[in-house]
Structure 1
Amino acid sequence: MTKLKYFPPGTAAGGEHGAHRRVLTDALKPHRTLRQTAQELEWIDDPGARRRLETLDLTARDRFLIDLLYYTGIRVGEALSLFSGDIHFGGGSPELGCRTVDPHFHVVMGHTTENGARSKGAERTLHVTPLLVERYVDYVLERSAVLGRDDHSKHVFVNLYDRENDYLGRAMTYSNAYDLVKRVGNKIGIPLTRPHMLRHTFATRLVRGIDCDRQDLDVVQYLLGHRNIESTRIYTHGLEPAAKAALAALVPRAIELSPTE
């Protein structure tokens, strides 16, 4: 249950001379994500801001990237490391080596990327809605119109709006995505500190059933690519008050005792 650990002098637990103290074994320590508070887990909790995000007028590439993060919950690194061959929005085929019929894309580990982006967690296949398919088609048309025969990148997301053309057609970087999300936040009237807020919003809505049917944790775990379901449990934040209210609503049943003769 516990083990003896030495804390050197000058540390909070070691004091002036150092000390040996008993601590929980590593196996019993709570996962860091379980210690995260609702304040640390930033998400778009304002329904009006979510509606503005969903209808915001953006360029085709930016609209597709925001929607992909918002509606599928993938990490920004997974989006930026997507290759065109991972996108099967027309369904799989023997030529593609994929038997999945419905529109989908593959989150793949280990791509050698131009921008240093990488996927983490677990490989998975994620289905997409017709809306995302339409957004992708719009982006492909825009990309073709801008780059034409100079389109040589295998990445899905590339620079199309570089005024000096130094990076035109090259893979988008993390800083590109962060700047985009910040601009979107300014337009919808809520600060978006990082792209991960879209992932947090996706997961929180599914776990809590906000504007959708509530989903089981193991389903959300798969969608997010979490290897450990404990990482998914952080999205139950905000359920505690509802759980307390539900228990408080269970008024004890009154029992009437017949008078004894």
Structure 2
Amino acid sequence: MSPADEAVAWVVVSDSYEIHHQASTYLESLRARDCSPNTERVYAGRLALYLSYCAANGLDWAAPGFIALTRFLHWLVKEPLPPRGRRASATPRHREKSTANHILTTVGEFLKFCIPFGWVEPATAAMLSETKYLSFLPPGYSAGEDEQFRTVETKTIKFRVAIPGYEWLSDEQFGQLVALTVRARDRFLVYLLGTTGMRIGEALGLHRQDMHLLPDSSVLGCQVPGAHVHVRRRMNANGALAKARKPRWIPTDADVASLYSDYVYEREQVPEAAQSEMVFVNLFKDPLGQPMKYPNAKDLFNRLAAKADFAARPHMLRHTAATRWKRNGTPDDVTQDLMGHVSPSSMAPYVHATDADKREAVERLAALRKDRS
């Protein structure tokens, strides 16, 4: 942690606290590419896991071999995870196959990064992928004007896993989740995520100057009409970072302004919060007044999910907002801009069919057949 601005940087060390130079240099390159501190943290853990496995099994991490990497992949799902929390479950937990694939992907990227420095032979990284011609294009994928993007690199070592479904909340569930919040800050956060489609990192990275909730913001030097919120990519002390590099603004309704006003009143009761420029800060636990971090938000949603008795995670509210916009006839390009997506194909996972939608489609077809007969 930097003593100057409290920015967090990650390194990989051995059991004897010796810094692993190559892995730490790779993590430094992520910072140079302006990646999220959370991404750096996750990648650091994956590399440490790989290096520990190599050390325990007498493998050269820079030249593990195809068979060794395959065994590492299977070890990832067979090895029980360490107990979590004070009341650990008697049933051991294991990694999902999709998680093992992600870990090996990070290892592959790390090995490729090491090639120009002479730390890894090109053949070692080359065995992790192979060239494949796409005879059939995935939905939303463009092969280019000259079909130049039909040839891609695919992984050679991976589990075959089913495509996971995307979860979202119905209007009733979203309303229930908002109603279950006890504090004004938490209520504002939940409602903001569910109505603007922000990522949790974007919300936690909001500054007070981004909140333009007046009918006219020209006095603030902003010419955007109506109440809205600005989403900007910037480095923050709490590690929150907007994924999209292009800034955008999102219109808000009157309830956002009302809930924000309630939160500001609650915030003013904590003197330590007065100096923070961040919107979401710690008001109920130490360190008071410091920017709210992702673990705090995750803990909030875990408590709300337990009360509501259904799954509730921050990213589900992003799916919820996108689905509501699509159902209400919002054009795809408008929804794409609101969500901060660069590619139209990124919108595909956010379109969900409800039970009612599917029932209506079947009944409509049955009615047409009846009319024709």
Check whether the contact 1:36–1:234 (CA below 8 A) recurs between aligned residues.
Answer: no
Q: Deviations over 1:87-129 (max 9, x none)?
A: 11124544522012311110112x2311011002242111111
Measured in 1, the distance between the counterparts of 2:291 and 2:333 equals 33
SS in 1 for 2:230: strand
Check whether the contact 1:151–1:169 (CA below 8 A) recurs between aligned residues.
Answer: yes
Check whether the contact 1:161–1:168 (CA below 8 A) recurs between aligned residues.
Answer: yes
1:190 aligns with 2:190: no
Shift of 1:28: 4.3
Counterpart residue identity of residue 44, structure 1 = L
1:132 aligns with 2:256: yes
Partner of 1:120: 243
1:5-154 equivalences under 5 Å are 23-25=132-134, 28=137, 37=163, 40-45=165-170, 48-109=172-233, 111-121=234-244, 122-147=246-271, 151-154=274-277
CA-based RMSD of the aligned residues comes to 3.3
1:102-251 equivalences under 5 Å are 102-109=226-233, 111-121=234-244, 122-147=246-271, 151-162=274-285, 165=286, 167-192=287-312, 194-207=313-326, 209=327, 213-238=328-353, 241=358, 245=362, 246=364, 249-251=367-369
Check whether the contact 2:178–2:187 (CA below 8 A) recurs between aligned residues.
Answer: no
Shift of 1:248: 5.8
Structure 1 residues 223, 27: CA separation in 2 closer, same or farther (over 3 Å shift)? farther
TM-score w.r.t. length of structure 2: 0.54
Check whether the contact 1:83–1:155 (CA below 8 A) recurs between aligned residues.
Answer: yes
Measured in 2, the distance between the counterparts of 1:21 and 1:142 equals 56
Check whether the contact 2:169–2:320 (CA below 8 A) recurs between aligned residues.
Answer: yes
Counterpart residue identity of residue 281, structure 2 = V
Structure 1 residues 151, 218: CA separation in 2 closer, same or farther (over 3 Å shift)? same
Shift of 1:22: 6.8
Measured in 1, the distance between the counterparts of 2:162 and 2:293 equals 28
Measured in 2, the distance between the counterparts of 1:226 and 1:89 equals 24
131-140 or 53-62, which deviates more: 53-62
Measured in 1, the distance between the counterparts of 2:140 and 2:309 equals 34
Measured in 2, the distance between the counterparts of 1:88 and 1:152 equals 19
Counterpart residue identity of residue 118, structure 1 = L
Q: Deviations over 1:54-112 (max 9, x none)?
A: 32242011111111001111000000110000111124544522012311110112x23
Counterpart residue identity of residue 41, structure 1 = Y
Aligned length in residues: 228
Q: Deviations over 1:152-173 (max 9, x none)?
A: 11110000001xx3x1000000
State the identity as a percent. Answer: 37
Q: Compare relative contact order (CA 8 Å, sep 6+) and give the higher one, 1 or 2.
A: 1
Check whether the contact 1:105–1:125 (CA below 8 A) recurs between aligned residues.
Answer: yes
SS in 2 for 1:180: helix
Check whether the contact 1:107–1:119 (CA below 8 A) recurs between aligned residues.
Answer: yes
SS in 2 for 1:105: strand
Unaligned runs of 5+ in 2: 1-64, 71-126, 142-160
Structure 1 residues 40, 129: CA separation in 2 closer, same or farther (over 3 Å shift)? same
Measured in 1, the distance between the counterparts of 2:307 and 2:282 equals 21
Measured in 2, the distance between the counterparts of 1:253 and 1:49 equals 37
Structure with the largest fraction of helix: 2
Counterpart residue identity of residue 251, structure 1 = R
TM-score w.r.t. length of structure 1: 0.74
Check whether the contact 1:89–1:133 (CA below 8 A) recurs between aligned residues.
Answer: yes
Measured in 1, the distance between the counterparts of 2:174 and 2:262 equals 22
Unaligned runs of 5+ in 1: 1-7, 12-17, 256-261
